Amino acid sequence: MEKISHKKIIFDLGAVIIDLKSESDWWKEDLFPNFNQEQLEKLFKEGFFHDFETGKISTTDFVKVMESIKINPDIAVEKAWNGILKTIPKHRIDLLNCLKENNQVYLLSNTNTIHTKTIHESLEFDFGMNIFDTIFDIQFYSQLVGMRKPNTEIYEHVQQTIGDSNSANFIFLDDKPENLIAPKKLGWQTILVDRDISELIA
């Protein structure tokens, strides 16, 4: 890990640390077969899922709405919603722990309470604890901070919370190009994750 030291390294979660099913496959395989497609698309256009990710809609209310448009009575809302999640390869956890030896390591994710609950439970099963709590100095989840990428305000919030005015100290890794625009304007170094992070950070 000689190439990076004494930096604030900020990781996206989905498709960077945890493997995901593609969003198109998720909708085709887990959402459209189990919920009314027209109503799903209507909720998407109205910002319902955006509001869930920014904490404006509770988990209880989210599940209630999704139950109301369910067409498969045998599917649990949480199971279908978690259909996008895959696994976190152990070598990525090892990489994060290695980076933490000489850097501050953070997590910045657009996510929601159902996904984070499932991911944390999976970590406890695989590692005996929610090891994110020991790896990351701070975990920034959109549903907790009330903001989401790619809006500039969330990156400003991250930098202010970390308490370092020198933007050159920040490195941000994300799999979506649109999420790199604002932090780059703030002066952060950005890395597009288009392959395994172990190949991008050495």
Alpha carbon of 55 to those of 40, 52, 87, 135: distances in Å? 19, 5, 25, 24
C-alpha atoms less than 13 angstroms from C-alpha of 91 in its C-beta half-sphere: 7
C-alpha atoms less than 13 angstroms from C-alpha of 88 in its C-beta half-sphere: 26
User: In this structure, are strands 8-11 and 170-174 parallel, antiparallel, or unpaired?
Assistant: parallel
Q: How far apart are the C-alpha atoms of 112 and 57, rounded to whole Å?
A: 10
Q: Is the pTM of this model over 0.85?
A: yes
User: In this structure, are strands 138-141 and 170-174 parallel, antiparallel, or unpaired?
Assistant: unpaired
> Per-residue pLDDT for the chain (202 aa), expressed as one digit of tens each?
345 778 999 999 999 999 999 999 999 999 999 999 999 999 999 999 999 999 999 999 999 999 999 999 999 999 999 999 999 999 999 999 999 999 999 999 999 999 999 999 999 999 999 999 999 999 999 999 999 999 999 999 999 999 999 999 999 999 999 999 999 999 999 999 999 999 988 6
